């Protein structure tokens, strides 16, 4: 199924926190073609500041990041009223049940394991921004 159905409103922003450059490039390509504005950041240590500064509509968050883990960042986001309701799509290469449970507990919006289907990512981002 090709993408392009139900284009998002113009100007919606996705922030991608991911340290693997090839994966960043792939997701950026997929979302940009669908009309999203995509910003990427590779470091976990200052991720919160970047999120607060850019205030994205949807956040895509890797778990194993240099500096700080995705779980910690998620906890901080949910603890802060400004970002408590921010839609967060978590991507991880450690796809065990335990990781999924942990993410649910910390209040993730959606959880996906790598490798992912491009369409799934696109659909998820669309749904999250719509909800």
Q: 3-state DSSP call for residue 53? A: helix
72 lies in the binding site for another protein (CB under 8 A):
no
Q: Tell the smallest beta-carbon distance from residue 66 to another protein (Å).
A: 3
Cα 111 to Cα 124: distance, rounded to the nearest angstrom: 10
- Of 15-23, 52-60, 69-77, 80-88, the segment contacting another protein by CB under 8 A is 15-23
Rank residues 28 and 78 by Cβ distance to another protein and give the closer one: 28
The one among 2, 6, 11, 131 contacting another protein by CB under 8 A:
2
The one among 49, 66, 101, 105 contacting another protein by CB under 8 A:
66
Show Cβ contacts of residue 9 under 8 Å, excluding neighbours closer than 6 positions: none
Show Cβ contacts of residue 76 under 8 Å, excluding neighbours closer than 6 positions: 48
Phi and psi torsions of 96, nearest 5°: -85, 160
35 lies in the binding site for another protein (CB under 8 A):
no
Q: Tell the smallest beta-carbon distance from residue 33 to another protein (Å).
A: 8
């Amino acid at each position: 199924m090709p993408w392009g159905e139900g284009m998002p409103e113009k100007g919606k922003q996705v922030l991608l926190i991911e340290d693997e450059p090839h994966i960043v490039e792939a997701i950026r390509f997929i979302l940009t073609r669908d009309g999203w504005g995509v910003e990427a950041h590779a470091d976990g240590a200052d991720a919160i500041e970047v999120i607060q500064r850019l205030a994205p509509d949807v956040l895509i968050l890797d778990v194993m990041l240099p500096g700080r883990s995705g779980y910690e960042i998620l906890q901080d986001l949910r603890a802060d009223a400004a970002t408590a309701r921010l839609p967060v799509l978590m991507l991880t290469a450690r796809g065990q049940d335990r990781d999924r449970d942990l993410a649910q507990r910390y209040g993730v919006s959606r959880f996906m394991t790598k490798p992912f289907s491009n369409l799934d990512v696109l659909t998820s981002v669309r749904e999250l921004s719509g909800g």
